[in-house]
Amino acid sequence: MKEANFSNDNRIAVIDGDITRLTVDAIVNAANEPLIGGGGVDGAIHHAAGPEMMEYCAGLGGCPTGEARITPGFRLAARHVIHTVGPIWIDGQSGEAGFLASCYRNCLQLAVENNVRSVAFPAISTGAYGYPAELATEIAISTVYDALAENSGIEKVIFCCWGSAMTDMYNRVLAQKALKNG
């Protein structure tokens, strides 16, 4: 896994790799509302965590779009999984940006509340939910960048991408954000 740091304080990194294999305090799951596991990163996380994840999630009562829930990591290297439900892309005029930003803010809030110092995010909503990757990346980086400026409790945020095209996009957007904020 290749890592690039562009934030001024090196608290944000971008890697190309498998989020289920990361040794961090928490990984974020791009979940569905009933938290039952699905395709993409959601299915991979549920599979790697083992059946205990499904049992635990069943008792949570779901998760509305934009919110987040935390569970143990079970068989994962990560101690926790923070599940968040991103918006389904409709037209960009239906509140999608606000919901997506809420996903990142709520995940980071749960991280702080649970003494999570390192957290890894996938590209929320960019798969089956159809959010345009460049727009989602800009929201993800901007929201995390701003949240870290307000909170010193989180030491490292990793954007874990799948594939070089997504990794390159995250690196480019992160570098632009870092330059803009000096």
The Cα–Cα gap between 8 and 1 comes to 21
To the nearest 10 degrees (0 to 180), the angle between helices 51-58 and 40-49 is 110
To the nearest 10 degrees (0 to 180), the angle between helices 164-181 and 133-150 is 40
Q: Are 6 and 175 in contact (CB under 8 A)?
A: yes
- Bridge partners (DSSP) of residue 13 are 5, 158
Looking up tokens 């996380």 gives 45
Instruction: Specify the long-range contacts of residues 52-61, CB closer than 8 Å, at least 24 apart.
Output: 53/81, 57/83, 60/35
The residues that are catalytic are 42
The Cα–Cα gap between 145 and 11 comes to 9
